[in-house]
Structure 1
Amino acid sequence: MSKLKLRGKDLRNIGYPEGPVISIAMNIMEKNFKHLSLEDALEILRAILQSPNQYAHEGPLDKIAEALIPKPKIGGEEIPLNKTGIDFNVFGGEFIESGALQQMYTAAKLPVAVAGALMPDAHAGYGLPIGGVLATENVVIPYGVGVDIGCRMCLSIFDIDPIELSKREPYFKRELNEATLFGAGATFEKESDHEVMERDEWNQLGLLQGLQARAWKQLGSSGSGNHFVEFGTIDISDENVSSEESGFGLKKGRYLGLLSHSGSRALGASIANHYTKIAKEKRKLPGEAANLAWLDLSEQEGAEYWMAMNLAGDYASACHHIIHDKIARQLGTKPLKMVENHHNFAWKETWEGREVIVHRKGATPAGKNMLGIIPGSMTAPGFIVRGKGEPASLSSASHGAGRKMSRTAALNTITHTTLNEMLRHHGVTLIGGGLDEAPIAYKDIYTVMNAQKHLVETVGLFYPKIVKMDGAQPKNWQKKKGEILGE
């Protein structure tokens, strides 16, 4: 078997910047993954380039990731953290890992922090923990939003008997396979069309101009990691949801549902990394808080990020709508109702009578009567919820069940036999997907929902039946080396 041989030209062609990272990447790949094909090696390198923070501190690839992650300039006066952090509420604290709690305590000491909360699905992330909610005054923290800007859920509810899913399973599987693409670098040969691609913002920033062509090719794709598109059965249980006042307007009963989860693809990752680098250069923080560097909305860079963030959020929404429109046309009907929500974003909201910027990194907006969808896992139900506007959580709720097992641990301990038995037990057909996304790698969704019952009320349940995820990952090299994919 021939050994892997990379050239600097290969890395530059896929977007790697000039500098030490090229030689670092070549040496690590040729040493640790020498039996991979050139195509597979470049696929790994593309994934790291798109989301370097997801590979940091996880095996041999961490050196490549660390070389790509923006670092603050040496020199300049360090901004100290407050000795005492703001108070923040923790929901479901008994099953939240210490790493996430510590990250939230650090964020609470930022001099710009005014309020915060931690959701019951929380686990450690980069900067703000996943499941963290942080309000600031007139400043935005790029890594408080996250790399996958605008990552969201989208649910279409159809007036179709769910029994069709089992009676015509090959048909529904085909529709999922044809409606979207999965994978970190996935692009379409034929571009979709959507008004978001005609927005003026693309021409207002050089960064966005350079990202538009790739964004066209990824429009309507779904990414990797925990992203999915799935058919399932919906049970609407709330007796009051049929009223117009409920904001739902559907009768109690069973429906067929289409649920998707993905974000803004390479567009969002590029925006996040670009403006995080700028934020770190402008505001040097202590090491434990370095990834919480902020931009003031009154300065040019802050205004630029805010504009780019909102464009990426709308782009993420457009990706979902393209997928749902494709499938609705094939089904020959329109959805009775759509429910969708961001969970990696920042909003201008009012808190205690003043305007603040509320960052929700892996948290669902749960304002009064606001509808949302909180998924469980590939076998556990998703909860269709209506927010209660609870001030204690800054009108927020969890964005899912939350991981209880890292991807590395899942790949090292869960077997395909175990996963297949769980799928059979719950009557779920999986297309793609990997052991890192096995249901037992996640917290129990019922426990999580019980910890936030005063934040949201449940109006219906979505039970997955045919689940499509990225089938190309994780590969054997990932299981052996314990790498992380997606977040």
Structure 2
Amino acid sequence: MKIEQQHDHDILHAGQGAPIKLWTHGVPVEDDARQQLINTAQMPFIYKHLAVMPDVHLGKGSTIGSVIPTRGAIIPAAVGVDIGCGMMAARTTLTAADLPDNLHGLRTAIEKAVPHGRNMTRGKRDQGSWGRPPELVDAYWKALLPGFNRITEKAPRLKNTNNHNHLGTLGTGNHFIEVCLDEAERVWIMLHSGSRGVGNAIGRHYIELAQADMRQHIANLPDRDLAYFEEGSQHFDDYVEAVGWAQDYARKNREVMMQHVIAATRTVIEKPFQADVEAVNCHHNYVQRETHFGHKVLVTRKGAVSAQKGQLGIIPGSMGARSYIVRGKGNPESFCSCSHGAGRTMSRNAAKKRFSIEDQIRATEGVECRKDASVIDEIPMAYKDIDAVMAAQDALVEVVHTLKQVVCVKG
């Protein structure tokens, strides 16, 4: 293994695989994540090199914080099961002075407006889905339904998913809704979610299918989660169609939530305001066709955001740290990409064992949010330093706005 140092990134050469370019100066890269990157780089259809973002850490299927360009094949587990997961942010015409002194009422209104979390009590509705979807959800689902019908004709098992009832809902884990203030004390609404239960089912279905298709060759792969579909095969086309639909669902899911959060905010703040002053809606777990170095390729961003020249993106910190609205610099070596957040430094279980509720209270001081045992796995100390992550990708993006949350609703 050989590491070649450049002024803004390093290049890792390992065996016969493609080079791995890492924008990780000043941030830790765990050994397991590095090995996972090396495994992916061995695949014969990797185009040019892998690009690795500063929030890199071990993932399921492939490394989170990696950009995987391919020609002639696609790896379903690299995209993963939270297909289309991403961020949306909208600046409002409100300022900090327009917010109530006590923000608990605003958090409660948002929590009522958007189903979040998950409880699978037998015989009762999951709190994270709609009992009866509102009209806005029905309208958005109507637009998604023709594509869903085409997908389920080929994969009937996907009909038995929580699809319509999950549209416009938050989910669990690191998904969140926040009210933030920028550097000029202007109010932003920001949220993070993906394609929910139906996207998870699509991801799992095609990961299993890829592994089944390759069952005679899977032992020769560096990792069974690198099972792939070759372009030109039926399953390749079916997956591309399904993943594209799930990404559309995820984008619409965020749009519905944003409208409901804005409406909820208007029930608490009487002053009239607009909330589409500066809006960004971007995926960070997805695959799409793009042109790089003169060739059309499939680019899988696993925990990475598109940062084409002039393109706006969102890089959130943890629930106690700053977040950033950024503008891409269009760096070709990163396949015009940047990080999708701070990146975890420890697993959820490790965070729960290491930190206490008192630690969580101290770390989220000044933020109106839940401060109980169920959110300790999201404690800021379980994440990398967002400022170090931003410094490491100075060649990829420029900061447009710096946000600090004052309200946080966690899934």
- Which residue among 113, 134, 142 is the counterpart of 2:76? 142
Q: CA RMSD, aligned part only? A: 1.9
Give, in whole Å, the separation in 2 of the partners of 1:299 and 1:150: 23
Question: Across the two proteins, how many residue pairs are aligned to each other?
Answer: 370
Secondary structure at the counterpart of residue 95 of structure 1? coil
Give the partner amino acid of 2:140: E
1:334-345 matches, cutoff 5 A: 334-335=274-275, 336-345=277-286
Counterpart residue type for residue 23 of structure 2: F
Write the mapping of 1:57-206 to structure 2, written as runs, cut at 5 A.
84-92=16-24, 94-114=27-47, 115-184=49-118, 186-191=128-133, 192-199=137-144, 200-206=146-152
Q: Could you tell me which residue of structure 2 aligns to residue 364 of structure 1?
A: 305
Tell me the percent identity: 33
- 1-side partners of 2:102 and 2:367: how far apart? 14
Residue pair 1:368, 1:388 contacting (<8 A) in 2 also: yes
Report Cα offsets for 1:401-428 as digits up to 9, x if no partner: 001121111100101111111222xx11
The 1:351–1:121 alpha-carbon spacing in structure 2 relative to 1, beyond 3 Å, is same
Structure 1 or 2: more helix by fraction: 1
| Counterpart Cα distance in 1 of 2:405 and 2:235 | 42
Q: CA separation in 2, counterparts of 1:452 and 1:157?
A: 24
**Which aligned pairs between 1:364-403 and structure 2 lie closer than 5 A?**
364-403=305-344
- The residue aligned with 2:162 is 214
Q: Tell me which amino acid in the other structure corresponds to 2:129.
A: T
Letter in 1 for 2:325: I
Q: CA deviation at 1:317?
A: 1.2
- The CA distance in 1 between the partners of 2:84 and 2:142, in whole Å, is 16
Q: Tell me which amino acid in the other structure corresponds to 2:367.
A: V
1:272 shift after superposition: 0.8
Larger Rg: 1
Give runs of aligned pairs for residues 7-26 of structure 1, distance below 5 A.
none
Of residues 221-230 and 193-202 in structure 1, the stretch that sits farther from structure 2 once superposed is 193-202
Is residue 234–residue 462 contact of structure 1 (8 Å, CA) maintained in 2?
A: yes
State the partner residue of 2:187: 256
Q: Which residue of 2 aligns with 1:428?
A: 367
**AA paired with 1:211?**
K
- Where in structure 2 are the equivalents of 1:324-363 lying within 5 Å? 324-330=258-264, 331=266, 332-335=272-275, 336-363=277-304
Counterpart for residue 72 of structure 1 = none
- 2:173 alignment partner, one of 217, 225, 248: 225
What residue in structure 2 maps to residue 37 of structure 1?
A: none
Query: Gapped runs of 5+ residues in structure 2?
Result: 1-13, 119-125, 267-271
Range that drifts further, 259-268 or 278-287: 278-287
More deviation, 300-309/160-169: 160-169
Cα deviation for residue 181 of structure 1 reads: 1.5
Deviations 1:321-375 (A, max 9, x none): 1111122234254311211210000110112111100100001111111101100
Cα-to-partner distance string for 1:222-259 (whole Å, 9 max, x where unaligned): 11111101111122xxxxxxxxxxxxxxxxx3310111
Note if contact 1:89-1:117 (Cα within 8 Å) is conserved in structure 2.
yes
Asked if 1 retains the 8 angstrom alpha-carbon contact of 2:324 and 2:403, the reply is: yes
Local SS of the residue matching 2:282: strand
- Residues 142 and 232 of structure 1: is their aligned pair in 2 closer, same or farther, counting only changes over 3 Å? same
Equivalent pair of 1:165/1:465 in contact (CA under 8 Å): no
Partner Cα separation in structure 2 for residue 149 and residue 130 of structure 1: 13
TM-score normalized by structure 2?
Answer: 0.86
User: What does residue 7 of structure 2 align with?
Assistant: none
The CA deviation string for residues 38-92 of structure 1, in whole angstroms up to 9 with x for no partner, is xxxxxxxxxxxxxxxxxxxxxxxxxxxxxxxxxxxxxxxxxxxx95111121111
Query: Which residue does 1:415 correspond to in 2?
Result: 356
In the TM superposition, residue 162 of structure 1 has moved relative to its aligned partner by 1.8
Structure holding more strand per residue: 2
Any conservation in 2 of the 1:117–1:393 contact (CA below 8 Å)? yes
2:295 and 2:231 map into 1 onto residues whose CA distance is: 16
Q: Indicate how the Cα distance of structure 1 residues 466 and 140 shifts in structure 2: closer, same or farther if over 3 A, else same.
A: same
SS of residue in 2 equivalent to 1:376: coil
Distance 2:83 2:302 in 1: 9
Partner residue in 1 for 2:269: none
Tell me if 1:234 matches 2:182. Answer: yes
Question: After the TM superposition, which of the residue ranges 348-357 and 208-217 deviates more from structure 2?
Answer: 208-217
- The Cα of 1:304 is off from its aligned counterpart by 1.0
RCO higher in 1 or 2 (8 Å CA, sep ≥ 6)?
2
In the TM superposition, what is the alpha-carbon distance from 1:167 to its structure 2 partner?
2.2
Q: Is the 8 A contact 1:162 1:232 kept in 2?
A: no
